[in-house]
Structures are given as C-alpha cells and as structure tokens.
A and B are shown apart, each in its own frame.
Chain A
Amino acid sequence: MATSCTQKHLIRWIQLLLKCTIFLSLTAAAVSSRLFSVIRFESIIHEFDPWFNFRATKYLVNNGFYKFLNWFDDRTWYPLGRVTGGTLYPGLMATSAAVWHGLRKIGLPIDIRNVCVLFAPAFSGVTAWATYHLTSEIKDSGAGLLAAAFIAIAPGYISRSVAGSYDNEAIAITLLMVTFMFWIKAMKTGSIMHSTFAALFYFYMVSAWGGYVFITNLIPLHVFILILMGRYSTRLYSAYSTWYAIGTLASMQIPFVGFLPIRSNDHMAALGVFGLMQVVALGSYVKSQVSWQKFQTVMVVSLVFLLALGISALFALTYFGFIAPWTGRFYSLWDTNYAKIHIPIIASVSEHQPTAWPAFFFDTQFLIWLFPAGVFLLFLDLKDEHVFVIAYSVLCSYFAGVMVRLMLTLTPIICVCAAVAISKLFDVYADFSYFFSSSSAEKPNLSKRDRIMTLVTKLTVCGSFLAYLVLFVHHCTWVTSNAYSSPSVVLPSRNPDGSPALIDDFREAYYWLRMNTAEDAKVASWWDYGYQIGGMADRTTLVDNNTWNNTHIAIVGKAMSSPQEKAYDILKAHDVDYVLVIFGGLIGFSGDDINKFLWMVRISEGIWPDEIKERDYFTPSGEYRMDAQASQTMKDSLLYKLSYHRFPTLFNGVEGIDRLRGQNIRQVDIGNLDYFEEVFTSENWIVRLYKLKELDAMGRDLHTKGEFDRGSSRGIKKRVAKKPLLDVRV
C-alpha cells in the first residue's frame, strides 16, 4: 500500500541518517582517542621503529620515488650500508607521501612530520568502515556498526595506531580488514571483480607489512576447510583461483618479497590449496557427469596419488634447497623456547615474549568473554563466511597467546565476533516491536503478566548490556590515556613535590649529538637506539633496529663486553667516533643497557664462543651483580666502565648507589677510563656519550699514557732508573 511504501522509504532514510551520524561519531571517537600524546606532549614520532619509517618517508618526499626505490643508505650499518630500497615495505611511506602530495595540491601544505604523526588515527577511521562492511557480510549492518564501534576504540588496536606511532601496523590492519572484506564478498558471490580487488588490496598489504603471511595462510586455510566440509562450489573456485593468481603475481613485484611466494615454506600452503582447488574442480565436474559408485574409485585413486605426489614434492624441493625451510621466526611461534637457544636476537625483543593472561582483558575488556560466545553463535549458523571467521579466530588465538605482538591481529576478529554476539542478543532482547504493533492480528494471546515479564526481562538485559558498553568505553579511554599514549622518547615523571616533570634526556642527548659532532661521525650503540639516532641526531650508526645482520650486532656486543683495550681495537677498526650508552641507575630508568647486557653477551657468544662466555659475567654463586661481588670480567667490560664512569662522584666519591638495581658501586671497581673520554651526559644521566681517544702520537698504548698522566698529576718523581724489561727489538 502507498502508506507502507512511504513508511518504508521514510524508515530507510532514517536508517541512512542514523548510520551516517553513527559513522561520523565513530570516526571522531577513533581519531580523538588516539590524540592523547599529541595533546599532552607534542606532535612527535614515538618509539623506535617509527623513526626509521619517518626518515624513509622524508627521503621519499625529498628525493622522489625512483631514488627511494633504489636508495642505498650509507648512514646505517656502517660500513656495510643497507640497500634500504629493497629491504623495506614501501606501502606506508608511499601512502604518506601520496597524502602529503595530495594535501599540497589542494592547497594545504602540511609538514611531513605532522602527516606521519596523524597518519594512524586517520586510517583507524578507514579500519572502522572496513570492519563495518566485513561484519555486515557476516551478519547484518547492525552487527557491522557494533563491530566498527568496537574496533574504533579497542585498546588492542590503539596500542599500535596511536598518533605518533608511525609504524607499518597503522596501515596494515586497515588493509587487512579491507582485504578480508573483499574476500568475503568475492567468496559469497563468486565475482571475479571482488576477487581482483581482494588481490589488489592484498598486494597493497604485502607492500605494507611483513605480517601479510597471515593472510597468505588464512585464506587458503579457509578454502581448505570448506573443501573438507564438502562445500566446494564453482563460486569458491572462481574466487580463490583469481585471488591466488593475481595476488601472488602482484606480491612478487615488491622487491623485498621477490621470489618468496614460490621459494619459502610459509607460502606453500597457498600454492598447495591452489593445486588442490584445480583437482577438486575437475573432480566435481566428473562427479556431475557420472554415477557416484564409479566416481568413488576414481576419486580415491586420484586423491591418494595426488597426496603422495604433493607431499613428496614438497619434501624433495625443500631437501634440494629450492624451497627455503621454515624460518626461525616461524619455528619460534610453535616452540616458544626455540628462539632463546638458537636465535637470541628474536628472543630478546620484548614484543616477542608470550602474552600474559591479563593482557587479553587489558586490551579488549568485556569483548574477550563475548568472543567465544560469538564464535559459538557463528557455529550454529555455519555459512561459508562463518567458517572464515571461525578459522581466523582459532588460528589467531593461538598466535596471540604465543607473542604479545600478535595480539594486534586478534583484536579485529574479537571485535567482529563480539559484535555478532551482542547483535544477536539485541535481536532478541531489544525487539520491542511487539509493543508497538498496531494490528491485533499480530499480537499473540499473552496474559498481562507475561507481557510485563517479557518487557521487564528485555529491559533488564538491554540495560545491563548498555551498561557494559558504557564501561567498555570508559575502560578503553582510560587504558589509552594511561598505557598506550606514552611517546617513550619523553618520559613523564613527578618532581619531589608532586608536580609533573618530563624526562627529556633522549632528545637532549640526540640534539647535542646533532649539533656538536662532525656530520660524518659514526656512533656505536646497542641496536635498540639505532633508528632514533638516525632520525633525531642524523648521524651514521653501526647497528640499528632492523637487525638484519647478526654478526655486525655481535661485533658491537663483543665490543661492549670486552675490556677497554680490545673494545677500542674493535671499534677503531670500524671507524667509530662515539659510543652511546643508556644508563638508568641514577633515576631508576629500567630500560638501560646494563639490564640488556646479558643479551649483548649472548649474541656475541653465539659468534665467538671461545672469547665470550656468559658464565663469566655472573658471580661465582650465579647472581647478576654490579657491586663489589661482581665478577672481574664484568668489572672489566666496557659497558660497566662506560655506564658507571664518574658515578660515585655524585655521592661521596667512594661508592655510589645504583637506584635501579639497589646495589653500591665502588669507584675502585670502576677504575680508570683510558681509551675513551666522556663528552656528554644528559641531565638525569640516562644517555651518556663517549668519544674514542686518538691513537697516541708517541706510539704508546693508551693505557700507559693514562697511567703516565695520572702519575705525573700526582707528582711522583722517579729518581732511580731501573733497567726496563723490553721485548727484543727485531
């Protein structure tokens, strides 16, 4: 009827309006909740890895894409240099540069730093939109809106996409959701166009993040499960084959990925499922033409044959070296102790540690218990796209439990499943249409008491879930504000009188380095700080966070663990001018080099087990101490001397109190520093810079020279000439 038509129209318009408003407010919430650190401190790039991305983006903006693609960075990994153009994922930088150029074209010349800082919040809005579409495909637009709301403010995602966290994940999660959205659409309709889009966004994802391997394995897994469930259909064939063919070919265009898709074991699953898909297509075609019994024998025979062929081919190719075996990172996902023994570098990164239980709640609050409920509800439906969500959830839950870092990939699917659960709940309990329906024919006969009870139950349930949602928002905002908005370059602290103070030692030291050293000075430090030194101080570094060359890092580790003379020789051979050390003993900063020292020892022991032994750095009773009981190797090591040089002078000259470790450090253990001289120490002694002394012009070794200088300043006059013990002169 006419009225119901216009009513439907009106309803549709109201729905559209509501959706738009909700989306706008979601985007506003997503962006604004990520801006805490910008408001509190300033618009600065956080952490370590984003500094490299920022430097790369600056280079791209200044020099153009051709030079960026072929960039040979001679200011990192001295003297090896780094072929950066071929060893990074350019998606993030290219996108930022495109945004920067685009803004300039429309007359808004925003500085590249601000573009980079605000990049992640901007893209979080896009993630919300993509999640909305994905969840609408799974269930309906109501669930989609809920999922978008959750992903907009979930701390698990915010932790890596806060303003200033200019890291690959900022764009990668967005692309992940978009790719999955297109994949689900393609799989449901069989449309080649959607598959192509899925493949192109997959290519974009490959260019942006190394975690693209997750998509490479999840989609084939999904297809494989569907085939096993007997849900093969021509739509599935069309979707997957198109996606694989175009996606893999496109992913090989990225220089960093190169031939990995056909060479590494990580990608073999996708290839295997592709082959399997062709076989299944052929088999299903044959099956449609002949009777079941005849088909059965053919199927069994061919299946056995193909399985044997596939597995033997895989093993043969791996054995002969055509396909690289599983990488160490992959092993460490299954065997959590593998990395500690075999690859200390991977084990030493704090983000690679297993996740603690509270982290799940901290990052997702009540979504974490809605998550299994959502998965179960999807099980009840079990359409093809629900299989995808279930596979994603199960796989990702395992990985998120193994590595803290992968919590980020679990968060989107938690949001989706939780949204499905709540949406189903609201479908039932928020359905007040009974009370508003006008025609009596629609009202079933219920007693008044039943009607009131239904109303009360519905109101209670809705009310309690609304309260949960409000608490969720509250929790997310609190977590974002307190835990994830720290730039980690500037540290907040309190003065003795309680007023807030900033610890800005890092920037102070890097700026000193930038202003007071030669432009081509080389700085040796532990690899954690490489990117920051390159980004803020603009000096050549020996090793940085890219950690692509373990031996080079081990050289720096060996220099830090060896006595002064040996360390001097090692560093001089690499043309090092300055050494940078982080020391937290005065103020209690726990991320300092002495706490990381054992990793330096372990990594260098991996290369030189005869010269460096981890046992030597512990006390005889096995403790890791810095005071009088420390082992002599520990006291002789360069890092000990550089960290504690002049430390007791802050106290009484004889002994200093290391506040972080709670131990007393004696001047007599620290000894004299003959080969290095201190050039800068920051305000709270967090960053200390030392310069290598020049070789003595008179050919004395610097220790003798140091002894002589000290002796002469004490004014000891030697009256008696003793015959010296000299090596025979050849």
Chain B
Amino acid sequence: MVPKTTPKKADVASSASKFSDTISASYKAYCKQVSGDRQLQLIDTFCAFLVAVGVIQFLFVCAAKDSFPLNAFLAGFSACVGQFVLLVSLRMQVVNSFMGISPQRAFGEFVLASLVLHFLCLHFVN
C-alpha cells in the first residue's frame, strides 16, 4: 500500500546517499593524506602501476583462453600481488610506525622481503 512503499524508498534512498557520501568522504580524506607527503605519493603510484600490470596479465590469460605456461603466469601475477602487499605494509608503517620498528628498519625489511620475492618469481618462471 502506499504508506509502506514510501518509507522503503526513503530507506533505500538514504542508504544509497549514505553509500555515496561515505565514498566521497573517504576519497577526500585520502587526498588530504597523500597531498603533502611525497613518500606516500611515490608508494601509491607504484601500487597503481602494479595493479595495472596484474590486470594486464589476467586479461591476457582470459583473452588467450589458455593459461599455459601456468607457472609463468603465477610467477608474474604473484610478483605483482606480492609486491603490492609489501608496499601496502610499508605504507602502513610510514603512516603509523609499528611499535619497536623504526621507519628505517621497516624500509630495510621491505627491501629484504622484496628481494626474496623477486628471486622466487624468477626461479618460478624458469
């Protein structure tokens, strides 16, 4: 009946608006966080690059309908994913350093882990 539908519509409308509000608010906060800090910008560009490369590889597999050689695909894809994850961990430590780990040490660990990751990827791709 008429009275029942209108509140629902209102609910949906409000939740939709809440959703878009949230998204826009978080985007604004993000811009603010990144604007001053060159380090964070650098990290974020690298992350975006990695996402792009990963998506390209995935699309290639879908387009070619053939994941041969699977080990190469996995190596390439995990290089992107792994590096991305390491970058995000580093970013978190840059924003708010963990207890007992200085930013320099964090970066050093990041380099070490990245080297291990690269070695594994190269070994995997044969």
Binding site for B on A (CB under 8 A): 189-193, 195-196, 199-200, 234-235, 237-238, 241-242, 244-246, 248-250, 252-253, 259, 262, 281, 285-286, 289-290, 293-295, 297-298, 301
Query: What are some 6 contacts across the A-B interface (CB < 8 A)?
Result: A192-B106, A238-B98, A245-B78, A250-B120, A294-B18, A294-B21
A-B pairs, top 8 by smallest CB distance, nearest first, are A289-B29, A238-B89, A245-B82, A192-B109, A241-B85, A193-B109, A234-B92, A190-B98
Measured CA separation A191–B108 after assembly (Å) = 11
User: What residue in chain B is nearest A238 (Cβ atoms)?
Assistant: B89
Beta-carbon contact of B89 and A253 below 8 Å: no
Closest chain-A Cβ to B76's Cβ sits at a distance in Å of 11
Closest chain-A Cβ to B22's Cβ sits at a distance in Å of 4
Beta-carbon contact of B109 and A294 below 8 Å: no
Selected from A199, A234, A241, A249, the residue in CB contact (under 8 A) with B98 is A234
The total of chain B residues at the interface (CB under 8 A) is 41
Measured CA separation A281–B19 after assembly (Å) = 18
Give chain B residues whose Cβ lies under 8 Å from the Cβ of A298.
18-19, 22-23
Give chain B residues whose Cβ lies under 8 Å from the Cβ of A241.
85-86, 88-89
Selected from B25, B26, B96, the residue in CB contact (under 8 A) with A234 is B96
Beta-carbon contact of B74 and A259 below 8 Å: yes
User: What residue in chain A is nearest B21 (Cβ atoms)?
Assistant: A294
Q: Given A234-B98, A252-B74, do A192 and B113 touch, yes or no (CB 8 Å)?
A: yes
Q: Given A238-B89, A250-B120, A253-B124, do A189 and B101 touch, yes or no (CB 8 Å)?
A: yes
Give chain B residues whose Cβ lies under 8 Å from the Cβ of A190.
89, 93, 98, 101
SS of A interface (majority): helix
Closest chain-B Cβ to A3's Cβ sits at a distance in Å of 31
Measured CA separation A290–B22 after assembly (Å) = 7
Measured CA separation A285–B110 after assembly (Å) = 21
Give chain B residues whose Cβ lies under 8 Å from the Cβ of A250.
120
Selected from A200, A235, A248, A286, the residue in CB contact (under 8 A) with B26 is A286
Give chain B residues whose Cβ lies under 8 Å from the Cβ of A297.
15, 18-19, 22
Give chain B residues whose Cβ lies under 8 Å from the Cβ of A248.
78
Q: Does B117 contact A (CB under 8 A)?
A: yes
Given A241-B89, A286-B22, output 18 extra A-B contacts at Cβ < 8 Å. A189-B98, A189-B100, A190-B98, A192-B90, A192-B106, A192-B110, A192-B113, A193-B108, A196-B113, A196-B116, A237-B92, A245-B81, A246-B116, A246-B120, A249-B82, A294-B18, A294-B22, A298-B19
Q: Does B10 contact A (CB under 8 A)?
A: no
Give chain B residues whose Cβ lies under 8 Å from the Cβ of A191.
98, 101, 109
Give chain B residues whose Cβ lies under 8 Å from the Cβ of A294.
18, 21-22, 25
Give chain B residues whose Cβ lies under 8 Å from the Cβ of A253.
120, 123-124
Beta-carbon contact of A290 and B109 below 8 Å: no
Q: Does B63 contact A (CB under 8 A)?
A: no
